[in-house]
Chains A and B, each alone.
Chain A
Amino acid sequence: MTRTHLGMPGFPAVPPFPAFPLAAHEAVGDPVLRANLRHATHTIRDKRARAVAELADWDALRTAGKEIKDHTLRHLDRYLLELEASVTAAGGTVHWAADAAEANRIVTELVLATGEREVVKVKSMATQEIGLNEALEAAGIAAYETDLAELIVQLGHDRPSHILVPAIHRNRAEIRDIFASEMGSWGRPAPDDLGDDPRELAEAARLHLREKFLRAKVAVSGANFMVAETGTLVVLESEGNGRMCLTLPETLISVVGIEKVIPSFRDLEVFLQTLPRSSTAERMNPYTTMWTGLGPSQGADGDGPAAFHLVLLDNGRTDTLADEVGRQALRCIRCSACLNVCPVYERAGGHAYGSVYPGPIGAILSPQLRGTGSEIDASLPYASTLCGACYEVCPVAIDIPEVLVHLRERVAQGGPVTRDGIRVRIRPAHGHAAERAAMRAARLLLDRPGALRAGERLLSRARRLRPRRLPGPGRAWTDSRELPELPAQPFRDWWAARERGRDHEQDGGRQS
């Protein structure tokens, strides 16, 4: 491939994200999108429930996962230093990046130093969060996404819409068209007679990407876990693109959020049981790669890269850590289970959340990483019915509703927060569009006027959390009354009953 191609399939220049209600409004009006999403979320969550039910000790694993993460977060400085020492002892080099710009600069310089102008990437949300592909593109470096779904997203000049299956908003016919029209510009073209059978599409991706894997000298990855004690990094995946990126290139650069560290190798026994089952609903994902620096041979035996760089990314994580309620979002292991049970996500789709972290986790993580200054971030804490389903499935027991309420309070009432390491006081968003817009969004999403009220009724009995006054849109409502007794029919039951009715209507017409 020649340099003339370097208007690469990175994310296109798109206007800033609209606030959640506006974005959701469009999504809700798109019947194809809704059908795709509905099919996907229901399929995965049903399978997940079966995979979880197989383990009699699920609750104990969930508690252990929560406690390991909380413990790590409480001593994060210690574990990061230990990690740095272990990785360095094993032949790796550790870099620290306070924000996106710094991380992008470090990675760009590392790539340029190799003399290469292209990198292969294995799915990494951290690099999406910091806009690495665009930064590399600006430096004349082509970054190729190698996960099939990420490839679809990248070739389609699109954004991911789900953590686990980022191209779930596309159906097979759309994917076929994207491959047919775009692959040729970036490498091996799709075959002329490409059909829309998933098998054929996967084969086209295999051939297109293999060419890149075999010549790539530099790879960029994320990691699911980093073990402080041993310096081991862990990547879970299914397709083998991870193994390709992590083992074939000469230089491997891993960009990982600081919250991904865990203390000991033994701790993996918890997460290697909970993550696959919560995520892909499998007992174990097809491939897991673990590497420790350059390995015992320090890279001399050619088994894996000869150079390994770890970029530890803050980018708002220490600010999140400073918030005692909100910091639990840093426990997230990105399994995506909360997306698949969320009635709002199911209707709004991933793009409405305006960040690489969609769904319930996105609604609490993005406004903390980025602050609530923008319309979209101020509206995200309202993108929920507070039904609590996300908390129930979360393998590290993040109380997402609790954090949502906390963030609503912050948006509506202001208060102390930490931004860029500095304690500041934000003003209440008086007459803020977010509140009114959020009301509209919720109504619209649930296409039933009573729904929002039902959601708020549930909020009133939120587990352990019983505010005397509802923050956010519910506040006016509770101004004049005490919080009510438990509703006769909790929102979840109402929702479930309603869903059963809908399953009937919709799945009848759907071929799968």
Chain B
Amino acid sequence: MSSKDRILARIRRAVPEPGPGSAPEPAISRDYLPVHGTRAPAETVDLLAANLTEYRAKVHRVDEGGLAMLLMRLLAERGARTVLVPPGLPPYWLSAADPTRIHDRAASTARELEGVDSVVTGCALAIAETGTIVLDGGPDQGRRRITLIPDHHICVVRVPGQVVDSVPQALPRLDPSRPLTWISGPSATSDIELDRVEGVHGPRTLEVVLLGAQ
């Protein structure tokens, strides 16, 4: 007997399937809230900003016209000489930025990416109640490694369109067959006497740009 068969047989002995005529199983009670509180779209965006800030992400707000200048400024302030660019990032986003563009290619190794200073991406969506941005590897986000290896990640969130209130609202909008990365503030550890330290293995600095009419 294979281990698979043995394990399945043990399970069936432990919890036999109910026979015919036995009472139907009660449904899972899902009377928890789909959203905590009621908010206008602008308030949802404010909550996202507040929660991101509390977990030490830097939050900026800008409209379409100001985005290129803002990204230029953020990269300059950081002193970035090189910036990773996902294949589908709208070209105008970085049209004013000085750093050398590094394009993510499947062939580029983690070690090659290690030398890059910053990365700029879009996102799949953001969750206000938890202060989370979600990446799904879409064209404006690129492979998972490019938002992991550089120490500085700038993520652009279109507001209010890409913002949902809550976790229950987020899941139906995501495709589980894609690799998903949920990011809530920069990398952090509290392993040493519970002192929180930012940036262990992931980016030490997370900047979130809320892009929309101001």
Contacts and interface: CB of A to CB of B under 8 A. Distances in A.
Given A230-B176, A289-B181, A318-B10, A74 B15 contact: yes
Interface residues of A, number: 98
Nearest to A230: B176
B167 to A, nearest CB: 5
Contacts of A240: 148, 187, 200-203
A494 interface: no
Contacts of A206: 199-201
A214 interface: yes
Contact of B188 (A258, A286, A314): A286
A287 B202 contact: yes
Contact of A243 (B30, B127, B202): B202
B8 interface: yes
Interface residues on B, range: 35 or more
B154 to A, nearest CB: 17
Contacts of A312: 7
Contact of A77 (B8, B137, B193): B8
Contact of A55 (B7, B29, B36, B114): B36
A175 B192 contact: yes
B214 interface: no
Interface in B180-204: 180-195, 197, 199-203
A97 interface: yes
A247 B144 contact: yes
Contacts of B192: 148, 167, 172, 175, 198, 201-202
B15 A421 contact: no
A238 B187 contact: yes
A269 B132 CA distance: 14
A212 to B, nearest CB: 11
B131 interface: yes
B200 A148 contact: yes
Contacts of B55: 282-283, 286
A258 B4 CA distance: 11
B28 A68 contact: yes
B193 A283 contact: no
A98 B194 contact: no
B197 A198 contact: yes
B143 interface: yes
B145 interface: yes
A132 to B, nearest CB: 17
Contacts, number: 248
Interface string A275-288: 01000101111111
A304 B189 contact: no
A288 B167 CA distance: 13
A462 interface: no
A509 B199 CA distance: 31
Interface in B121-154: 127, 129-132, 137, 143-145, 148
B200 A303 contact: no
A90 B55 CA distance: 34
A481 interface: no
Contacts of A269: 167-168, 171
Tell which of B114, B171, B177 has the most Cβ of chain A within 10 Å. Answer: B177
A24 B13 CA distance: 38
B14 interface: yes
A76 interface: yes
A477 to B, nearest CB: 34
B184 A303 contact: no
Contacts of B17: 75
A76 B130 CA distance: 31
Q: Which of B176, B180, B195, B201 gathers the greatest number of chain A CB atoms within 10 Å? A: B201
Contact of B184 (A201, A270, A282, A418): A282
Given A77-B8, A284-B130, A312-B7, A265 B15 contact: no
Contacts of B182: 284, 287-290
A321 B11 CA distance: 7
Interface in B91-144: 106-107, 110-111, 114, 127, 129-132, 137, 143-144
Interface string A16-55: 0000000000000000000010011001100000000011
B145 A98 contact: no
Contacts of A75: 15, 17
B25 to A, nearest CB: 7
B14 to A, nearest CB: 4
A199 interface: yes
Nearest to A512: B193
Contacts of A149: 189, 191
Given A280-B190, A301-B143, A286 B137 contact: no
B193 A289 contact: no
A217 to B, nearest CB: 11
Contacts of B148: 240, 243-244, 247-248
Contact of B110 (A57, A81, A214, A270): A214
A418 B111 CA distance: 51
A265 B176 contact: yes
Interface string B46-59: 00000100010000
B16 to A, nearest CB: 10
Nearest to B114: A214
Interface in A95-139: 96-98, 102
The 7 closest A-B CB pairs, nearest first, are A240-B202, A240-B201, A302-B106, A318-B10, A322-B14, A288-B182, A284-B130
15 contacts: A55-B36, A64-B30, A71-B25, A198-B197, A206-B199, A210-B114, A238-B188, A247-B144, A270-B32, A283-B55, A283-B130, A284-B132, A290-B182, A295-B179, A314-B3
Given A76-B11, A198-B197, A286-B187, 15 more contacts: A39-B193, A55-B36, A56-B36, A98-B6, A171-B193, A172-B193, A238-B190, A240-B200, A243-B181, A284-B127, A284-B130, A286-B185, A303-B143, A321-B11, A421-B13
Interface of B: 2-4, 6-15, 17, 25-26, 28-33, 36, 51, 55, 106-107, 110-111, 114, 127, 129-132, 137, 143-145, 148, 167-168, 171-172, 176-195, 197, 199-203
